[in-house]
Chains A and B, each alone.
Chain A
Amino acid sequence: MIKVYKELNNILLVNLNIKEASLENGDAFKAEVIKLFDKYHKSIAINMSAVEYIDSSFLGSIVSVFKHLISFQADVVLVGLSKDITNLFALTRLDKVFKIYNSFDEITNQ
């Protein structure tokens, strides 16, 4: 589900390769992100541009891994959200919680 794209000094760039982010794969997503964090011990930027549909269960999984990484002074950054998913983050006000970028380039050019 998750593939590492690039490892930078302070952040790991990964691609989330699913179209439907739902109740069905939320727990697996959470387990994979935490496994990656346990291996690399750095913040993780998740490219979600392949995701077409997301439900509240998966949203909860994203918040859960964010809380886990924050407790270790790391961060979860989101990249490439579709218009509907951007609207969902605005609706739930999670856009005030997460750093959200259009592309990996926006992160690497900082």
Chain B
Amino acid sequence: MAQLASKQFLLPNTRQSIKASVQEVLDFVINSLPAGVNTEGISFKIEVIIIELLTNGIKHAGTIETFLDVTINEDNINIDKKDFGNRFHPGNITSLLVYDVGHKELLTKDGLHSMYAVVESDTQIRFVCEEENGDEVLDVSNLMEHFGLLIITKSSDTFTYEYDVDTGLNTFSVIIDLN
């Protein structure tokens, strides 16, 4: 798989800087895309993914800066958000990584979606979103109010989280297929 472009961004972890950070990354991606790709569709995905990755970092990581590695390949875009901040505990679960590979843990559920974390290895989980079929009357009082993980999962083709116990490195990795 041919790599077309790659860049590491060091971005401030502040609310005020998100818009400028998103534009900086978006400009790089759009200018690096292979010919024939639907730029408008990709722009929307990149924008919402970067907004949510950075917002998640501000909420949970507790670091001053965050690294964003963006790689454009012929077939996909790979975005890795890295920080050495607090370990991420989706769904307030102490550690999903103690489960066997393939274990599927329900994180949140309402009448529209179910969000799961699937254990991929002893250091990595993958987020999966399933849409509810909507046959039943929607219970509005049960609607979720946290959409960050859901937005990233539904905007990408693969979304994983990896924690390196030895170094304390958190890596959120997003892949968007271009074909």
On A, residues with C-beta under 8 Å from B are 20, 22-24, 53, 55-57, 59-61, 63-64, 66-67, 70-71, 84, 87-88, 91-94, 96-97
Contacts and interface: CB of A to CB of B under 8 A. Distances in A.
Contacts of A56: 51-52, 55, 146-148, 150-151
A88 B131 CA distance: 15
B165 interface: no
Interface in B36-50: 44, 47-48
Contacts of A53: 19, 51
Contacts of B19: 20, 53
Of all A-B residue pairs in the complex, the 5 with the closest CB atoms, nearest first, are A56-B147, A60-B145, A56-B148, A93-B112, A24-B15
Contact of B143 (A24, A61, A63, A87): A63
A56 B113 CA distance: 15
Interface string B130-158: 01001000101101111110110011000
B18 interface: yes
Contacts of A55: 18, 51-52, 55
B59 interface: yes
Interface of B: 15-16, 18-19, 44, 47-48, 51-52, 55, 58-59, 112-113, 131, 134, 138, 140-141, 143-148, 150-151, 154-155
A84 B47 CA distance: 10
Contacts of B52: 55-56
The dominant DSSP class at the B interface is helix
A101 B148 CA distance: 25
Contact of B140 (A61, A93, A97): A97
B145 A23 contact: no
A97 B44 CA distance: 22
B145 A64 contact: yes
A96 B147 contact: no
B168 to A, nearest CB: 24
B82 to A, nearest CB: 21
B23 to A, nearest CB: 10
Contact of A91 (B18, B146, B151): B151
